[in-house]
Amino acid sequence: MEIAEQQEGVVSIAIANNKDTALAILLLIDSYQYDTLSESMKCTDRGREATEMSTFGGSRRKTRQQGNASSSAKIPLSISAAVSIKRKRVPLGTARSNSDQRRSSLPIQARLIYPILSSSLLGMAANEDIDIPALKPQPSQTDEKQDMQRNQSQLDVLQEKVMEVKACIQGSEEDARKELDVLWRRVKTTATLLTYLKSKARIMAVPHLAHTSCGIKQLEGVGLVDKNGIPLSGWSKNVDVSSFDSPDEESWIVMNRQHGLVDEHDAAYIGEMLKSIQMVADVMETLVKRVLLAESETTIEKEKVTLGQEEIQRKSAQLANMSMKLEEMERFALGTNSILNEMRQRVEDLVEETTRQRQRAAENEQELSRVKRDFESLKSYVSSLISVRETLLSSEKQFQSIEKLFERLVEKTTQLEGEKMQKEAEVRKLMEENVRLSSLLDKKEAQLLALNEQCKVMALNASNM
């Protein structure tokens, strides 16, 4: 399209500068032979005859040669020929078939120039104020010879210009052929690179082939390492952009340029294509590494979840044991409470008995004061009182020891209740940690599924391409 626009501009300038030359080029392109120009001249004469007959009638036929001489003196040959050709009525089907046959034998550039010349010349012929009936007949054989010589010189000049136009057309054909060769080389290069990319994508779709293609190996004691010897823990999830500017593509372009396979115009294009292909290949290798990293992280998270579950089971067993011990302590506390109640009842009974005995002692003292003869009996009674007092003192000491034991039991119970609440809080924390780990595991599995889907989609897209 750019070549056609340039040719259209050149032809328009040529038509504006030299109308005669443009008409001659049009006539020669239309015929593509030298003989067509003479046929055009004959058509011009026949067109003038038809015009004069239709305008002036039979009385003006004798003045046709004089009119031709005077018209050639006033009007250029090209304009008069254009007017005669325009006014000549030729059968439409015959004219179109002959013109189409002649145009089909022309080169592409001539086919582009032909409509421009024809439209421009017809417009100029329509704008020229040509009055053929006003021509005055001046018959002369010398003028006809001069006209023939002038026409011959114009034909020579036109032939030279036609040769120049042919040379320009051939040059443009060579340029078009070169451009077509460049485009064909680019198409073949692009097809080769796309074939490589398709094969790379098919290899990446298979896990063990993808590992081999990316240079990933399994080493004992280290695990997975890439082609640079970096272990799995040191892999990065980001794409290394600096690796795209590799010197391999420049060396490949220089080598092909030395062999004549790549010219200066193809170097930038092939460089960009190689960068794009290398970028896609590196992105696929990065995706493979990301999948391996996700799998390793998922395995680690599963192990952590398993350890958490085992810890929860162990804590649950400990809580069950603590619950059993607490129940035993509660039963022991209940037994102790019953024993304490019995002891209190006995102490109350002893207190009542002591009160009664005191009353009796008071009565006995009153009786002792009144009865001196019962001194021996009173001695025994005093001794009994002393024994009772010792019994009361011992019972008070026992009661104090029982109260201390009860306080210890209350403290132990309170401590056990605090430990129980602490264990319950730890259980709740473990359950919350378990829920968080479960949600994290679900997220990691969702991410892994998403990565697998992306890999599948890329593989399908690559296979479709």
Let me know: does 326 contact 420? Beta carbons within 8 Å: yes
What integer pLDDT is reported at residue 96 of this predicted model? 41
Mean pLDDT, the chain, integer: 68
Q: What are phi and psi of 365, to 5 degrees?
A: -65, -40
Of these ranges, 130-134, 286-290, 370-374, the one predicted with the greatest mean pLDDT is: 286-290
Q: What is the DSSP letter of 136?
A: P
What integer pLDDT is reported at residue 211 of this predicted model? 72
Confidence of residue 444 (pLDDT cuts 50, 70, 90): confident
Q: What are phi and psi of 386, to 5 degrees?
A: -60, -45
Confidence of residue 366 (pLDDT cuts 50, 70, 90): confident
Domains and CATH numbers, the chain: 2-191 (no CATH), 197-287 (no CATH), 301-350+382-464 (1.10.287.1700)
For the segment 387-407, the average pLDDT, to the nearest whole number, is 84
Lowest-confidence segment of 50-54, 144-148, 336-340 by average pLDDT:
50-54
Distance in angstroms (rounded) separating the CA atoms of residues 366 and 361: 8
Pick from 36, 103, 48, 109: which is nearest to 79 by CA? 48
Q: Hey, how many other C-beta atoms are within 10 angstroms of the C-beta on 218?
A: 9
DSSP state string for 409-434:
HHHHHHHHHHHHHHHHHHHHHHHHHH
What integer pLDDT is reported at residue 237 of this predicted model? 58
* Token code pair at residue 116: 């421009």
Higher-confidence residue of 132 and 41: namely 41
Distance in angstroms (rounded) separating the CA atoms of residues 90 and 84: 12
Question: Strand runs (DSSP E) across 180-246, as ranges?
Answer: 217-219, 223-225
3-class SS letters over 202-260: HHHHCHHHHHHHHCCEEECCCEEECCCCCEHHHCCCCCCHHHHCCCHHHHHHHHHHHCC
Distance in angstroms (rounded) separating the CA atoms of residues 46 and 267: 61
Q: What are phi and psi of 194, to 5 degrees?
A: -65, -35
Distance in angstroms (rounded) separating the CA atoms of residues 50 and 9: 36
Q: Hey, how many other C-beta atoms are within 10 angstroms of the C-beta on 58?
A: 8
Confidence of residue 428 (pLDDT cuts 50, 70, 90): confident
Q: Does residue 51 carry a pLDDT above 60?
A: no
Q: Which residues of 339-360 are buried (b: 16+ CB within 10 A; e: fewer)?
A: ebeebeeebeebeeebeebeee
Confidence of residue 196 (pLDDT cuts 50, 70, 90): confident
Q: Does residue 373 carry a pLDDT above 50?
A: yes
Of these ranges, 174-178, 232-236, 316-320, the one predicted with the greatest mean pLDDT is: 316-320
The 10s digit of each residue's pLDDT in 58-93 is: 444 444 444 444 433 333 333 333 333 333 334 434
Distance in angstroms (rounded) separating the CA atoms of residues 250 and 266: 12
Q: Does residue 316 carry a pLDDT above 60?
A: yes
All residues at 6 or more sequence positions from 37 whose CB lies less than 8 Å from its CB, including other chains = 24, 27, 28, 31, 155, 158
All residues at 6 or more sequence positions from 412 whose CB lies less than 8 Å from its CB, including other chains = 329
Q: Does residue 46 carry a pLDDT above 70?
A: no
Helix (H, G, I), strand (E, B) or coil at 369: helix
Query: How many Å from the N-terminal Cα to the C-terminal Cα in the chain?
Result: 30
Helix intervals (H) in 206-247? 207-214
Pick from 50, 27, 2: which is nearest to 122 by CA? 27
